[in-house]
A and B are shown apart, each in its own frame.
Chain A
Amino acid sequence: MRFKDVFSIIGPAMVGPSSSHTAGAARIGRVGRQLFGRMPKSVEVTFYGSFAATYQGHGTDRAIIGGLLDFTTDDQRLPQSLSLAAEVGMEVTFRSGTGLFPHPNTVKLRLYGDEPEEKLTLIGVSIGGGNIEIVDIDGFSVKLTGTYPTILIRHMDWLGVLANVTEVIRKWEVNIGHMSLDRKQRSGEALTVLELDAAAEHLLLHDLGDLPAVHAVTEINLDAGP
């Protein structure tokens, strides 16, 4: 089933004008903010396809930046997000991209922090009705919808890591609804994405972070308030 519940039909609550070009874009921006873990210092936004053609008319630019400021889809500050970003010192550039892209409504975000090693790249697509998919994070293929609380684990692709991860989650009695793993190379760096049926407790994330060969654990929860 593409649409899982009543609120994927009635909803989201959002600032107009387009569920795909505005609400979806805001959610992609907010995933970026949560993945980065704080407000980025500078942001490079590249629009593709229909996003590139009509982003100004739909406020897609303002929606993306609003999401990066941790605004939800119905935050009435979204239309003013560009000036609000300037006020808090977030540098923003927009460009239109060419070449291959996975969906008519595609955006690539490059986020930078204060230190040179603080950076993140993600590619998101907006599939309609405010529903999104993040398809790439720092070169790892993923499929992250933001519909469920989601945990991202960066780890080494070593024997038994995944068994340790699922054991921790079992211990905390949370059910996994969807799971994917991508790696750069055999025994190299890997990224595992887990969509859960319930929000993860802080201590669960802590336990995952303590596992051998796990580098970093991040939670995405678009239902949570800012």
Chain B
Amino acid sequence: MNFQTLGELAKLAEERGIGIGSLMLEEQSAESGRPKELEFAKMADYYEVMKDAVRRGLTDNTTSPSGLTGLDAQRVKSYSESDEPCLGGAASEAMAYALAVSEVNASMGRIIATPTAGSCGIIPGVFISCQERFGWDDQKMVYGLFTAGAIGYVIANNSFVSGAEGGCQAEVGSAIGMAAAALTELRGGTPAQVVHAVGLALKNTLGLICDPVGGLVEIPCIVRNGFGAVTALAAADMALAGVRSVIPSDEVIQVMLEVGSAMPEKHRETAGGGLAQTPTGRQIMNDLKRSK
């Protein structure tokens, strides 16, 4: 890849006069040695898996094997259909779709890791709800996934994208930044605005720990995906409105690295602290062990 930072990424896109999604497709093809058409087709297949996961999460029984989670997406959807949601319809829909995909994941259904399985709901939640709302075609959405991938590539190589290494800020936080950036570009934002969206979003999740109850990708991962989709919409709106990340987004990524590196091990996916070690969290863990 010809870029290592978000600053370089935006500069390259501006120089070539193309969007970040198109740029990433070119870079991917150069890296893999495979034609652009094949790489695009693979991403298009992934988008179909995302759509299928949303659909299944809104219709199938998503109760997880542990019995701890499931069907929350359907609760949010039917509530927002029968009552005026506080968020408004569009954000409520993004939230329901993100919950749907995360619940499909927890119940051993098929998803795309974006960037991980723990954060797999945010990008589909934002993408598919916005596609329906704005009437975009699939091709545009697939370019959006390349935009999201470009942002994730920079974050992953300069910081981290797994909860075990950097806490939830690295998983859910990165996914929000990726979704916000892609949405900014899909709505016609410039490469500079796309990069601002990343910094704005990441600042809101800095410090978030990874504390899954029982070590399972369920509590609080699923609801954090729902919140994440809403935050991504907010960050995209700020960037499109001209709000800037005064601390440059590349510097915010370095803060994520600093904070994640300083995070105690018990707050990095080990279930040794946080929500996992509350009285109720410990009780759930003991019940799970007994039922083995």
Contacts and interface: CB of A to CB of B under 8 A. Distances in A.
B107 to A, nearest CB: 7
A76 B215 CA distance: 23
Contact of A23 (B113, B146, B162): B113
Contacts of B1: 1, 5
A128 B110 contact: no
A57 B68 CA distance: 11
B42 A17 contact: no
Contact of B115 (A4, A10, A56, A105): A10
A15 B28 CA distance: 25
A215 interface: no
B113 A12 contact: yes
Given A6-B153, A14-B112, A16-B111, A59 B65 contact: yes
A197 interface: yes
A13 B115 CA distance: 11
Interface in B49-84: 49, 64-66
B32, B49, B108, B120: most-surrounded residue (chain A CB, <10 A): B108
B283 to A, nearest CB: 15
Interface string A105-139: 10000000000000000000000111000000000
Contacts of A7: 28, 42-43, 149
A16 B105 contact: yes
B153 A74 contact: no
Interface of A: 1-20, 22-23, 50, 53-54, 56-59, 74, 76, 78-79, 104-105, 128-130, 197-198
Interface of B: 1, 24, 27-28, 31-33, 39, 42-43, 45-46, 49, 64-66, 104-118, 120, 123, 145-146, 148-150, 152-153, 156-157, 161-162, 164-165, 178, 214-218, 269-271, 288, 292
Nearest first, the 9 A-B pairs at minimum CB distance are: A16-B105, A128-B162, A9-B152, A6-B149, A54-B215, A19-B117, A17-B217, A3-B156, A19-B113
